[in-house]
Structure 1
Amino acid sequence: MTVNWAAFAAAEPDLAKTVEERFRAYRHHVLATLRRDGSPRTSGLEADFRGGELWLGMMGGSLKALDLRRDPRFALQANPGEGTGMGGGDVRISGRAYEVEEGATKAGYVKEVEPPQPFHLFRTELTEVVRTFVEDDTYLVVQVWKPGEPLRTVKRR
């Protein structure tokens, strides 16, 4: 089962707000895709939360775009920022990304965002959202959300 950003935000509004704030805190993040041979590829990426969707945009012909066309699975890690503060914690989104071909959706996105041309635009479906943070300087807290399941929280000393 997969869902878009709006469905995740409706299911877990507090976690969604925190995750989105972490991504909005910095412009560039790290995207992991799968190469043709199955090995991981990590690349810089700008993530865009717009209209209830998490969008991934990338330069035309980029290797990460070609990876996603072949195998839509991805993981997106928020930029941790400078130092070790990581206000809001460390967050990661996993799922599948599907390219939006020419049409009204892509044209509307181009009109709003004005990305450099040519570019690939991918709509995402989420399979997991994870937040890891330290609570009270004592506990490592890991929150894991998956579609159709309640939010799972694990605390470790």
Structure 2
Amino acid sequence: MTSSTPPSASAAWADFLAAEPAFAESVQKRFQQYKHHVLATLRKDGSPRLTGLEVDFRFGELWLGMMPYSRKAQDLQRDPRFAIHANPGPDDEMEGGDVRIGGRAVEVTDPEVIGRFVAEVEPPEPFHLFRVEVGEVVQTSVEGAELVVRSWRPGASVRTQRRR
């Protein structure tokens, strides 16, 4: 009998890194090429909201920090589902491919965790801090004449599709 992972399954960044180190490192490197990325959240009425955001990889986790009472923070407090798209960079570059991460953002309110984060990052305070639970990672790139799509979900191996 084979088991399948339900679509709602999620994993910590460290779990993704342990399961698929080369893929996780290439995705992290792609996000670290630029400071600003695009976050998609769900508004109260269910429609999408796109906003700019910085991400942080620290303590084996992927973090999203944002200004207090921002619309994106309120969206995530109401419905934690999100997708974040790596900044594509200059028109002709796209080194590392097109990368996005989807999952759930869990707001962190533990003073010890926040204190540890603040001690290293020194963000403007006050702020909301969310820890990412990864539900899906997708990297799309062009290799020679092929479009290559790599994807990962918790409980599965990296899946690679090639198209001409």
Smaller-chain TM-score bracket: over 0.9
Q: Which of 13, 16, 29 is equivalent to 1:8? A: 16
Aligned length: 156
Stretches of structure 1 that go unaligned for 5 or more consecutive residues are none
* In structure 2, distance between residues paired with 1:126 and 1:38: 21
**RMSD between aligned residues:** 0.7
1:70 matched to 2:78? The reply is: yes
1:142 matched to 2:149? The reply is: yes
1:39 matched to 2:41? The reply is: no
Residue type matched to 1:78 in 2?
A
1:51-62 matches, within 5 Å, as 51-62=59-70
* In structure 2, distance between residues paired with 1:82 and 1:105: 36
Q: Deviations over 1:33-76 (max 9, x none)?
A: 00000000000000000010000000011000000000000001
In percent, how many aligned pairs have the same letter? 61
* In structure 1, distance between residues paired with 2:87 and 2:78: 26
TM-score, normalization: structure 2? 0.93
1:99-118 matches, within 5 Å, as 99-118=107-126
Q: Which 4+ runs in 1 deviate beyond 6 A? A: none
* In structure 2, distance between residues paired with 1:84 and 1:7: 33
Q: Which of 86, 89, 93 is equivalent to 2:94? A: 86
Residue type matched to 2:160 in 1?
T
TM-score, normalization: structure 1? 0.97
SS at match of 1:132: strand
